[in-house]
Amino acid sequence: MVYEALRQLLAAALLLAAGALGQASLAGPGSARLFSVALLLGLLGLALGLTGRKPARPATLIGEPPPPAGQAHQLIALQAQLEHLPVAAWRLGEQGLQALSNRARRLGAPGGVRDKAALHALLAGASSSGPVLLDTERGSERWQLQRQQLTLDSQVQTLLVLVPLENELESESLQAWQQLVQILTHEIMNSLTPIKSLSQTALMLLDEPASAGNEGDLRTALAGIAHRSEGLSRFVRNYRRVSQWPAPRMAPLALQDFFQRLQQATAPAWAARGGRASFELTSPSLRLLADEAQLEQALLALLQNAAQATADLALPRLWVQARQGRGGRLQITVRDNGPGVPAGLERQIFLPFFSAREAIDGGQGIGLAVVRQLVHGMGGRVRHVRPLEGGAAFVLSF
């Protein structure tokens, strides 16, 4: 009985930790590492929950021989696994709050939280799962709290799991900032370097005698400075476009009428190229709470990318589909039959100013960054998938 209880506790703790990381991965970009860890913990929890399922043994009676040596070994192994969980886990029952893992004990010990009583009050009073801030000796840290009721030995108990997020989120945030700074530096230096060179050339021409006939060269240098300055100004405008979208105005949207307008606006251009654009709804009654203008802007950016990707094809194809997914989520998929996203660039394509093809956005690479920001602002997510049929597909989930 003790073995079975520990096995169930360990499986539940792993599944709760997976759920916590899964919810944290929905917070925004740069979350693939959290999602991968969540998937691994979930699979471990499921595997542990499904193994060892045997008919329940009757309760141990006084005088009954101890469990076999093999089962005792499994009991010790389960206790060790529970003790070394990479999360802080507690059990809340009639006897109060009981730490189940070493991480939980260390969090309440010196060097962990500043106020152990406040931590216990937070855990005992938690009525739902969600993000929490803990005041630790290292400062304010973000954790994800998962709460689950379960019955062990006919007793209702609550399993509480705290998953640390601070290091992962800081690492992802730092990496995102480093990538953005590299791109900004690259784009700015591309303009400043020729501006500096042309300015020096213009100053040299001004120092020469007027009779040297250098007026044409001087005009060329000044025209080059003006051209590169306009390029830098355009880059700044695009940066503001990515970072300063207005808040969405959410309203119910009938997707059938919305898709018809999109098809009328885009299908003729695909037909003129010898291709075809298909817009499909699995149900004519599909509706979505969204900002119509911003959703249209996001989809038009994806359609433009699809047109660029299939520019060299004799028979370009575009498929846009809306359907009700699992859990009632609405999904809009945009797929083309182009060459697809190059391997290894799946995560970078959503970075501002990154472009896998120089033709997209005139080399600025802001289309997918805008799509992601608009969809996220409406409470949705956008991801890239690689279809079995080839090409590229982007899925918007709400």
> What is the structure's pLDDT at 281?
94
| Res. 307: pLDDT tops 80 | yes
CB 145 within 8 A of CB 125: no
Would you say residue 331 has pLDDT above 90?
yes
Task: Report yes or no: 277 and 267 within 8 Å, Cβ to Cβ.
Answer: yes
d(CA 278, CA 199): 52
Is the predicted pLDDT of residue 336 greater than 70, yes or no? yes
How far are the Cα atoms of 63, 77, 205, 209 from residue 36, in angstroms, in the given order?
A: 48, 25, 60, 69
CATH superfamily ID and name for 251-397: Histidine kinase-like ATPase, C-terminal domain (3.30.565.10)
Mean pLDDT across 66-78? 60
pLDDT tops 50 at residue 212:
yes
What is the mean pLDDT of the segment spanning 153-170? 75
CATH 3.30.450 fits 2-164, yes or no: yes
**Residue 62: pLDDT above 50?**
no
Write out the DSSP string of 204-234.
Answer: HHHHS-GGG--HHHHHHHHHHHHHHHHHHHH
Q: Mean pLDDT highest for which of 4-8, 235-239, 363-367?
A: 235-239
Q: With bands split at pLDDT 50, 70 and 90, how would you rate the model's confidence at 340?
A: confident
Q: Which of 66-70, 121-125, 164-168, 239-243 has the lowest mean pLDDT?
A: 66-70
Q: Mean of the per-residue pLDDT values for the chain?
A: 75
Say what percent of the chain tops pLDDT 70: 65
What pLDDT is attached to residue 270?
93
pLDDT of residue 50: 43
The amino acid at 221: A
Residue 315: pLDDT band (50, 70, 90) is very high
DSSP conformation letters of 310-374: TTT-SS-EEEEEEEE-GGG-EEEEEEE-S--SPTT-TTGGGSTT--SSTTGGGGT--HHHHHHHH
pLDDT at res. 370: 79
Instruction: Measure the CA–CA gap between 75 and 212, rounded to whole angstroms.
Output: 95
Q: How far apart (Å, rounded) are the C-alpha atoms in residues 284 and 145?
A: 40
The three-state secondary structure class of 94 is coil
Q: Give the H/E segment covering residue 95.
A: none
pLDDT band at 143 (very low <50, low <70, confident <90, very high): confident
Confidence tier at 174 by pLDDT (50, 70, 90):
low
Q: Which residues contact 95 (CB under 8 A, 6 or more apart)?
A: none
Those residues with Cβ within 8 angstroms of residue 366's Cβ, 6 or more apart along the chain or in another chain: 238, 241, 242, 352, 353
Residue 113 DSSP code: B
| Least reliable range by pLDDT among 1-10, 128-137, 253-262, 375-384 | 1-10
